[in-house]
Structure 1
Amino acid sequence: MKLVSWNVNGIRASVKKGFEEIVKDFDADVFCVQETKAQDDQVAEALKDVSDYELFSNSSERKGYSGTGILSKSTPVKFDKDMGVNVHDLEGRITHSEFEHFHLINVYIPNSGSGLKRLDYRAQWDKDFTNYLKELSKTKPLIITGDFNVAHTANDLANPKSNYNKTSGFTQVEIDGFEHMLKEINLVDSFRKLHPTTFDKYTFWSARGGARGRNVGWRLDYFLVSESIWDKVTSAEIHDQVMGSDHCPISLEIEF
């Protein structure tokens, strides 16, 4: 089974940049997207020509902001959205599909913002998200993917020293929240587990200063897998050759 995840930075813009062909090229069983920046009907309209997939999406109450979606070749056992915490469930950040062997959670975790003005909210979000995952994990193993808006270690961004505790995505608060989630639910960072010494593969580059061309990036996008099914994972890759967003797609292959 092949799964792909991509923060598309606007699904309507992405479609104009060749999203449909990229989906065809990957030929994934499930393709997750984040930051759709569109309402559910607009997402459906944008993806109407993407054949062979069922669409499940979750949009933000605030138009043109956030949003997540799952394209699946097979019909999930169950689909739902959000974590059931009112303050968090207004921005369309979670789409959840239950399959035969696992829960798939597609997430766009809040950015702490310029000046870290949303850091306190982010810390609470991380705690509540971990609790939500913990409940789900009682029934089936988890595969969690998306844009986590955190570089886990200094090996996951090009300039750790200049960004540490100054820039959203690399504060100790965010790192601690991520590590707590990994440990509390027994999750494996699939790319890092399979590529322990690969430190120049990133999934996000700022649009400023030619960062992508110089590979001054961050690894913010992950496939996290329950330890109980880790032995079934065969591949985890970063596809930084794929253009069309300030993020690139990532993939996971797993055999049940």
Structure 2
Amino acid sequence: MKIASVNVNGIQGAVERGFLDWLAEQDADIVCVQNLKAKSFELDESILYPEGYEGYFLDAAEDGFAGVGLYCRKIPKAIMYGLGFEQCDNEGRFLQADYDRFSVASFLMPDDPHAKQRFIASYSDYLNKLRRKRRQYIICGSWYIAHKTIDLAHWSEHQSTPGFRPEERAFMDQVFGPMGFVDTFREVVRDAGHYTYWPLLAQDTPRHRQDGWRTDYQITGPELAKSVTDAWIDREATFSEYAPLIVEYDLTL
């Protein structure tokens, strides 16, 4: 099973820059998209239902803001919209597809530092409850946090920068520590220099400069983490400032 995840930073603009062509070439089972910045009723049929995929979307209440989506080759058993707390659900930040053996979610953390801290409090409660369930989960998306020093360039200059503040990194320590989740990318790739976001990089510029951040993750529990067979970042995809994170699992839907 192949899962791709990407922050499109505006789905309509990403489509103009080649997102649908990229999607058609992936042969992915599920593609999780974040930061749509459009309501689903505003989107063309070609975006809602690309060939071979069924599209599902959770819109933010505010126009031109946030929103997440899932493109699924196999129709899920059920779709869960939101997590039951206002900041998440009104802002379109969590969408989950349930299959027989596991669930796959598209997730978008707030990027504003104050909103992020409020969100983390409620989200931490959810993650702690999740690990006590027998069901397995893969959560894919933008967390707007670089976890370790190897996850961004020039880290020593960014210790007070949002996205690398001590309290944000401490939260990720909890996620990948006591909460029991696994960073699937790091199951395969252990060295530095792998990024999913280039703040000052033009969208049509190849990602050969190494001054980015790794702020996008696919996380799962330790059991599903054993099924990870490969993981990589598609730096050649330039329809957004964010690059797609792709993980292959020895699983079937």
TM exceeding 0.5 = yes
Which residue does 1:75 correspond to in 2? 75
Contact 2:206/2:236 (CA < 8 Å) preserved in 1? no
Gaps of at least 5 residues in structure 1 are 113-117
Measure the CA separation in 2 of the matches of 1:131 and 1:76: 26
Contact 1:149/1:220 (CA < 8 Å) preserved in 2? yes
Which residue does 2:100 correspond to in 1? 100
Which residue does 2:168 correspond to in 1? 174
Measure the CA separation in 1 of the matches of 2:32 and 2:43: 13
Contact 2:32/2:105 (CA < 8 Å) preserved in 1? no
* Structure 2 counterparts to residues 31-110 of structure 1, below 5 A: 31-43=31-43, 45=45, 47-48=47-48, 50-110=50-110
Measure the CA separation in 2 of the matches of 1:89 and 1:252: 27
Which residue does 2:20 correspond to in 1? 20
Residue 102 of structure 2 aligns with an amino acid whose one-letter code is F
Gaps of at least 5 residues in structure 2 are none
Q: SS of 1:122's equivalent?
A: helix
Q: SS of 2:104's equivalent?
A: strand
Residue 185 of structure 2 aligns with an amino acid whose one-letter code is F
When structure 1 is superposed on structure 2, of 153-162 and 41-50 the one drifting more is 41-50
* Structure 2 counterparts to residues 195-214 of structure 1, below 5 A: 195-197=189-191, 199-207=192-200, 212=207, 214=209
When structure 1 is superposed on structure 2, of 37-46 and 6-15 the one drifting more is 37-46
**Cα-to-partner distance string for 1:181-206 (whole Å, 9 max, x where unaligned):** 22243111111221112x11110001
Shift of 1:211: 10
Q: How many residues align?
A: 248
Residue 250 of structure 1 aligns with an amino acid whose one-letter code is L
Q: SS of 1:131's equivalent?
A: helix
Which residue does 2:215 correspond to in 1? 220
Instruction: Report the CA distance shift for 1:23/1:228 in structure 2 as closer, same or farther (over 3 A).
Output: same
Measure the CA separation in 2 of the matches of 1:175 and 1:40: 33
Measure the CA separation in 1 of the matches of 2:87 and 2:110: 12
Q: SS of 1:80's equivalent?
A: strand
Instruction: Report the CA distance shift for 1:141/1:48 in structure 2 as closer, same or farther (over 3 A).
Output: closer
Instruction: Report the CA distance shift for 1:176/1:12 in structure 2 as closer, same or farther (over 3 A).
Output: same
Which residue does 1:243 correspond to in 2? 238
Shift of 1:127: 2.7
Measure the CA separation in 2 of the matches of 1:157 and 1:217: 6
